[in-house]
Amino acid sequence: MPVERYEGIHLGTAPEEIEEEVERGVLLTSLDRAVGWARKQSMWPATFGLACCAIEVMATGAGQYDLSRWGMEIFRASPRQADLLIVSGRLSQKMAPALRRIYDQMPDPKWVISMGVCASAGGMFTNYAIVQGVDTIVPVDVYVPGCPPKPEMLMHGILTLQKKVRTEEAFR
Amino acid sequence: MSTRRDLPGALYDPAGDIAEDLRDPATGEFRQETMIINMGPQHPSTHGVLRLLLELDGETVIRCKPVIGYLHTGIEKNVEYRTWVQGVTFVTRADYVAPFFNELAYCMAVERLLGVDVPERAQVIRVLVCELNRITSHLVALATGGLELGAVSVMLYGLRERELIMDIFEAITGLRMNHAYIRPGGVLMDLPEGSARKIRDLLDVLPRRIDEYETLLNDNPIWRERNVGVARLSAERCLELGVTGPPLRSAGVAADLRKDEPYSGYETYDFDIVTRAEGDAYARYRVRIDEMRESLRIAEQALHRLLEGPGPVMVEDPKVGWPVKLSVGPDGIGNDPAYLAHIMEDSMEALIHHFKMVTQGVDVPEGEVYTTVEAPRGELGMYVVSDGGHRPYRVKIRDPSFVNLQALPDVIEGYLVADIIPAIASIDPVMGGVDR
Amino acid sequence: MSVEASAAAVARRYPDIVVARGEASLVVDRGVLLEALTWLRDEPDLQMDFLSSITATHWPDRDPAFWLDYELRSMARHERLRVKVAATEDDPSVPSVTSLFPTADWHERETFDFYGITFDGHPDLRRILLPADWDGFPLRKDQPLGGVPTWFRGATMPPIDERGMA
């Protein structure tokens, strides 16, 4: 991991000066990177498969397109032990409160991937029964289009999320 | 071994002085209350968004009320605002594990309303893809059932086999799931180059893989302990509840729509109906394994017929058949250049007709029909009503999972909580079909 | 026995049976529905002992407006028969057939859920697919499809039932 070197820092001088440097956030940047790197590698998804996209999530987790390359083969059933919510499939009006509850039960830090067009925007079902995009209920980090998205597309979405996690601030 | 129903409700009999403090001071008895707990809709083992309200006495289920509708998509209403061909893309997403069957039932209904006959080659292709879809559906049932009971290897093996078949589907239809390949009048396009070779390789490899499953699970003591005697459903009760498919055949009734009311040329294929007598979860597992073998037999015969020679795959009548001609070019599946030249350069009428057929579609005569196919889960029916226009007036999907799920209280009540999982897995509901 | 022969057997008691496209359909009045289904089940030439599906269609221009459809099958003879019953918009109620066919339970609940048709004698008639507090019966023809306009950059498109496309 590269170490940031700033010109003009004189370490080994008075303690007040060191404290000034620390407050300026020099160390926190590196900590962000360290924490982001650790977080992205060991995300545990929560089981929230709704419809057809859930079958593709299962296929992504299976042998051919292996999710455990990125530490994600453990799908936690309890949202309290999970940090990634892959909303895969069409979200009906009846299920929407359950989604919000599951999201609320997940501890921070948590991320949401909206998989498939039905979760992202209602998909082909622009009707009374489907929530037109889960981002009306939960904040989404990555949208993966497709009906259903191929496992490679979902993997690209997951890698995009990992890039986002790696570069975001560690403690919001 | 005794069935679960023989076990007493209170399995743990408190004894000794330590437990004496727990007696109710008023009556001197131990308080026995029942618990009402909620299972789902988000649950790793309920095969989708199914919610069960369970009244438990200790570990025994006394009452069970399933609550469904968490995946209600409004497919039936949505189809009324789309053309007949667009209806295929909606209907195919009802039972998403076996999409070809939804398409087939719908297209058979539309064809019966139109009064057209589908070319023979299209029928054979339909049978081939449907039987391969039956195998993938049973593999998913096996994989998820195994995973839920803790047999994780079964999940990986099942999905590995499924990937081989997904590859074939992608080559033929362009998509791994929800294909919209079977259209009213035939199928979208003929098998591309190389797919016959792939299917041949699959049919050579798959029988030994199914043997692997049998070796792994048939006499496995844990599998047997969890499945034998669980979720028993008698033949009379099945018929009363409307249950069809593997649960009915595992109870001894040889009812299979491919033999009883043949469609799509099934009467010309050589295969057997698989039945068992016990009617429990283990019997259903065996029925599914044997049905996979029968599907392989049918697929062999279908492939053999396809290799005999080319033929049309869509009805020739220009007022009915899907007008777009596709072919595989150097950059993938796309419009056939000869057809494009015809409509763009040769004939203005052909262009107008093509445009009208693609945007507005076929006009289907007035009437109503009810067609049924033997889906992997049972009898899948489509009740289609037309008012003479270019849009469906009413499409009702009689989904087998919806009806089979009515049997859930029967197969769960009286058993232990841990038996709920193999019970649901053996009925194998797909919530997309249940809720539509 | 073919469809025509089954239809002839039914016509002995209900002469209005129609055969079209290889399927036999019979219209009965809702007052005699249970009696008719019992007869169709017990008649030895018919043995319609399996109920596949119950559903309804809404024809707002016709009177009566709701047409229910009962798909029957004979497991022994592999024959099918359709029974149709009408209900008006003012009084959309029909006797329940759960006493004859326990499988009708969820089918009738779904028909009630979508169309508001009540079934007298049903043990537990409440919504099944829509949320319990949903207002209205969405599959009726006078109900909109729902859905929101689609937003593009600088433009919107209304939902498909309002687009004015044929």
Is residue C162 in some structural domain?
no
Q: Is C63 contained in some domain?
A: yes
Q: A25 and A56 share a domain?
A: no
Pair A48, A35 in one domain: no
Search chain A and give the residue with CA nearest C157. Answer: A126
Nearest to A94 among C131, C147, C160 (CB): C131
Distance in Å, alpha carbon of C154 to nearest chain A alpha carbon: 18
- Is A124 within a domain? yes
A109 found inside a domain: yes
Whether residue C164 lies inside any domain: the answer is: no
- Domain membership flag for residue C55: yes
Q: What is the mean pLDDT of chain C?
A: 88
C145 vs A93, A127, A132: nearest CB = A127
Residue of A nearest to C127 (CA): A94
Residue whose token pair is 């975001």: A168
| Mean local confidence (pLDDT), B415-432 | 91
Same domain, A63 and A143: yes
Cα A83 to Cα A33, A107, A152: the distances in Å are: 18, 7, 22
If asked whether residues A68 and A31 sit together in one domain, one would say no
Q: Pairing between strand B60-67 and B51-57? A: antiparallel
Binding partners of B (≥3 Cβ pairs within 8 A): A, C
Q: Which residue of C has its CA nearest to B81?
A: C161
Residue of C61, C74, C117, C128 to mutate for B, most B C-beta atoms under 10 A: C128
pLDDT average, residue stretch A113-119: 92
pLDDT (0 to 100) of residue A62: 85
Residue A50 lies in a domain: yes
Task: Answer yes or no: do A90 and A159 share one domain.
Answer: yes
More confident residue, B308 or A47: B308
Residue C59 belongs to domain with CATH number: 3.30.460.80
Tens digits of per-residue pLDDT, C127-159?
999 988 888 899 998 888 887 888 888 888 887
- Within-domain flag for A172: no
pLDDT-wise least confident of A71-80, A147-156, B134-143, B326-335: B326-335
Residue B405's nearest CA partner among B382, B433, B380 is: B433
- Structurally, how many domains does chain A consist of? 2
- Burial (Cβ within 10 Å: 0-12, 13-18, ≥19) of residue A171: exposed
Domains contained in chain C, number: 1
User: In C, which residues are within 8 Å of B393 by CB distance?
Assistant: 57
Q: Please identify which residue in the block is written with the tokens 């007598």.
A: B277
Regarding whether A35 and A114 lie in a shared domain, the answer is: no
- A140 CA: distance to closest CA in chain C (Å): 18
CB contact under 8 A, B73 and A55: no
* Interchain contact, A94 vs C147, CB within 8 Å: no
| Domains assigned to chain B | 75-321+362-386 (1.10.645.10)
**CA-based nearest distance B27→chain A, Å:** 40
Cβ-based contacts of B392 with chain C (< 8 Å): none
For an interface test with C, which of A120, A126, A130 has the most C Cβ atoms less than 10 Å from its Cβ?
A126
Q: In this complex, which of A93, A94, A126 lies closest to C159 when CB atoms are compared?
A: A126
B297 alpha carbon, distance to own chain's centre: 19
Cβ within 8 Å of C, A 79-138: 93-94, 122, 126-129, 132
For chain B positions 172-211, those within 8 Å of chain C (CB to CB) are: none
- CA B64 – CA B406 distance, rounded (Å): 11
Same domain, A16 and A56: no
CA distance A90 to A87: 8
Q: Does position A107 have pLDDT exceeding 80, yes or no?
A: yes
pLDDT at B25 over 90: no
- Residue B372 near chain C (CB below 8 Å): yes
**Percent of chain A, pLDDT > 70?**
82
Among candidate residues A97, A148, B393, B109, the one with its CA nearest the CA of residue C23: B109
Give yes or no: residues A139 and A106 share one domain: yes
Report chain A residues whose CB lies below 8 A from the CB of B156.
62-63
Q: Nearest-CA distance from C30 to chain A in Å?
A: 31
Structural domain for C9, as ranges: 3-138
Q: Is residue A20 part of a domain?
A: yes
User: What's the CATH number where A157 sits?
Assistant: 3.40.50.12280
Its ipTM equals 0.92
The predicted pLDDT at position B10 comes to 46
Interface of B with A in 217-246 (CB under 8 A): none
- Is the residue at C157 inside a domain? no
Which of B77, B382, B406 to mutate to test binding with chain C, by most C CBs within 10 Å of its CB?
Answer: B77
Nearest Cα of chain C lies from the Cα of B432 at a distance, in angstroms, of 12
Domain membership of residue C91 (yes or no) is: yes
Tell me the pLDDT band of C162, cut-offs 50, 70 and 90. confident
> Same structural domain for residues A31 and A67?
no
- The boundaries of the domain holding residue A133 are 44-167
Question: Averaged over B96-108, what is the pLDDT?
Answer: 93
- Alpha helices for chain C (secondary structure H): 3-11, 33-42, 104-115
Q: Does C101 reach chain B within 8 Å, measured CB to CB?
A: yes
Query: Is 80 exceeded by the pLDDT of residue B149?
Result: yes
Closest Cβ–Cβ partner in B70, B90, B96 for A124 = B90
Q: Find which of A74, A86, A95, A134 to mutate to test the B interface (most B CBs within 10 Å of its CB).
A: A95
**Residue C146: inside a domain, yes or no?**
no
